Structure 1
């Protein structure tokens, strides 16, 4: 299977329009090596003919234009098979509204995410006014066929992050996807949002050929120290990479061939290619996703 990184940054992209943090300044003025990034979205395919989106970012139009295999070949017939949502966050779902010209759009989401999109943000309710939405309910732990031998199994990623739009079920608010190529049996895991690396989540990661992992912040208090927010990374629903108990420390011992951090916030120093944090990842054989990266599993 092939995975194409269409966007690799967290909400707001890199640089973020209203931010003057060291990273955003560097990418604007070229004072340090850093590459612009659009908001997190990955495309997956078993044959490079039919593609499935893992989330739909607000930058999805420009991302499709930058990746010819996703563009229509004739008329308005596109290679897009479906959109698989990991959560109901705006940076992962607003792109659905940019796909509203489709006659029919297949969307996979848990009941909790679908409820958020319909009764909370209103994204799904709005989209349904424009096109036929084929909503497929994602049930964690169930294997689901997509196309050409490609299957997925969603798994619950527990979170205590405050639900922005109120109540609803806790289970299924955030999920990861384990994608398997039936011909080779090899798997990739897409996990752009993770608050804790629980034993259940570790079990889903273990043994995969490629892991796209939440890389939002390097330090838990990163935004607080920069004076940009009053919340820690953990309070925003993301496990920091560095520090005691960070994902970098917890990855040790897991059987994963390749780990690629994705969904980096604009404040994360790993986006600066000459930073000590970036060298730490490189020295340990870990990667930082960038727009346009292709991975063959």
Structure 2
């Protein structure tokens, strides 16, 4: 049995404030016996004012939130999955990049969000991540974490089951889905999609999420989740910020897959025929 922690945050427009909240959460997670803490998408800065946000964007080796989190992980001897940070990558673009950090404070893996959120919602909200962000090109599984093999995704990736299938085929035990889900799409799809991805892949889903009303005016859904391979909710953090805990047993994966061995039954899918 492995104890993990999730940080459900209401990240704002000041990275220094975000770092203080993350450092507190890291200490609380370690104090609660967690071996690994998961944080949401955009844990360091959430600001849809691009001109204002650009003043706070840094390259990876200059990012104060990343550096502070690495030091806090080392100090508290805990693994950390930073769901993502906005990192300058050149050519005027930014990566929506997640990090896995070990208890020595070393970066063990990086993942850049593959699927970018370009949508117009009925509420009048319009999002064009591709205007700012550069899409990732690599599917990433991290070996040797406290939760076994950890597959990495970010938010909108949730809607693309092919990515989750690829991670399952790479023997992931847990897939992280850090997010900043909008409220309308959260109410409609958050729980059902997380449970579906866990059931389809036959593994654990850990989804740390942003929550509440943010300084830039947006509202996010919250409900950070841990879902087991049968689709059962082990944790739902509702709509309050803070740190939550869950205990996961990786033996549950083989138990579920022995009951419904769907991964073993997969076959190549032929091209569709239009009649």
Normalising by the smaller structure, the TM-score range is 0.3 to 0.5
Higher helix share: 2
TM-score for both structures, normalised by structure 1: 0.35
Name the one with the larger strand percent. Answer: 2
